[in-house]
Amino acid sequence: MSAALRHAATIHNPGFYEAQRARRSTWNIPRFVQGFDVAIDHDLIMPRGLRDHAASLIRLAGSELTCADERDQGNELNVSFLGELDDRQATAVDAMLAHEDGILHAPTGSGKTVMACAIIAERSVSTLILINKTALASQWREQIKTMLGIKAGQLGGGRVKTRGQVDIMLLQSLARHSPAEIIELTAGYGQVIVDECHHIAAGSYENVVSQIGAAWWLGLTATPERKDGLEQVTTWQLGPVRHIITDTLPGQDNLVTPYDGPRRELRVHETSYRCPPDLDLAQPGAITQLGGLLAADTARNHQIAADIAAALQAGRKCLVLSRRRDHLTALAALLPDTEAMIMRGGTGAKALVEIRTRIADTDLGDPLLVMTTVP
């Protein structure tokens, strides 16, 4: 039984096999990623998200499972939800409330923060919201004040005041503390909501959430997939995806609710750029080098700028994404008659607030250009 449980909390490490395929050294890269731990007294410690699976394995083996629930139930929270949910949001909220843990997979603009506030009001327990970006904190504070009628505390991002009702904490701030300090800082919360939850598969963030003893867990994400292939680590901590709001046609899966908002459409714009023949993409660092060459290609940048200008001329709102700050600067320079709002690493909190205000104040039919870096 111990072997079966350990197997359930073990996956192949995509990073090991990627290095192996690229003929790079695999030294110090584990072949497997493990989500379990073994205590000094040899007790097996499993991740919370595998609780139901572990219980099924034990029962299938003919054993009896006895549970001692020592999770933090939090404090009673006397709030009401002051907003309104549309049908798809209400369906998603009901689906998440039916479980003690799980992930809500919903596209950008579907109202994940609003749905989370509805869940906070329904469960009525003290709640901790974990975020990975300071910019998200102000959005959460505004929505909590609007939807629940209370002020949220915050730890991180220049703030150190928590209130014990609904608080926001930055994962980066918690990651700087010892396990004992994390336990102390997060005690008293019965529910934890993790925004952009796919990020907790990172080792330092996983170590943080594994120390928190809350009874209820909710993960929110528009993109559960990770470039490193470790999305299963997220489900180990938060439970499986319980509900999906999709902007594509739903299949037969009863987890899926159709999304009535704008639908994504992929249009590929071919460019004349060709990879240099002397660049070996199998070599370490070649992809990074190629990214730099792409960002610096004059003809390609002029084509991108022309596409942006045409969209703005048609009154559309444009979001331009790049992994390189200098690339955004180059594109903005090619659009001198356009007032681009650029958000990138190092942009101050005051500037971000001004940008969000300008975005919110833009009328429906007016053109808008926002440029931002992505991981």
DSSP 263: P
pLDDT in tens, 31-44: 999 999 998 888 99
Chain centroid to CA 314: how far? 32
- Classify domain 87-258 at the CATH topology level: Rossmann fold (3.40.50)
Rounded to whole angstroms, the Cα distance separating 160 from 144 reads: 18
Give the neighbor-by-neighbor strand order of the sheet with 317-322: 317-322, 368-373, 341-343
What does the pLDDT read at residue 261? 62
What does the pLDDT read at residue 197? 97
Domain 87-258 identical in fold to domain 286-373 = yes
Residue 252 burial (10 A CB sphere; 0-12, 13-18, 19+): exposed
Write the CA distances from 315 to 58, 133, 307, 358, integer angstroms.
60, 30, 13, 16
What does the pLDDT read at residue 252? 46
Rounded to whole angstroms, the Cα distance separating 38 from 27 reads: 24
Asked if residues 163 and 225 have their Cβ atoms less than 8 Å apart, the reply is no
Q: Which amino acid is located at 39 in the chain?
A: A
Using 70 as the pLDDT threshold, list the residues of the chain that sit under it: 247-262
Sketch the domain layout of the chain as residue ranges: 2-60, 87-258, 286-373
DSSP 178: -
**What is the H or E stretch that residue 21 is in?**
helix 14-21
What does the pLDDT read at residue 37? 92
Question: What are 366's strand-pairing partners?
Answer: none
pLDDT in tens, 198-247: 999 988 999 999 999 999 999 999 989 898 889 999 999 999 999 999 86
- Classify domain 286-373 at the CATH topology level: Rossmann fold (3.40.50)
Q: What is the pTM of this model?
A: 0.81
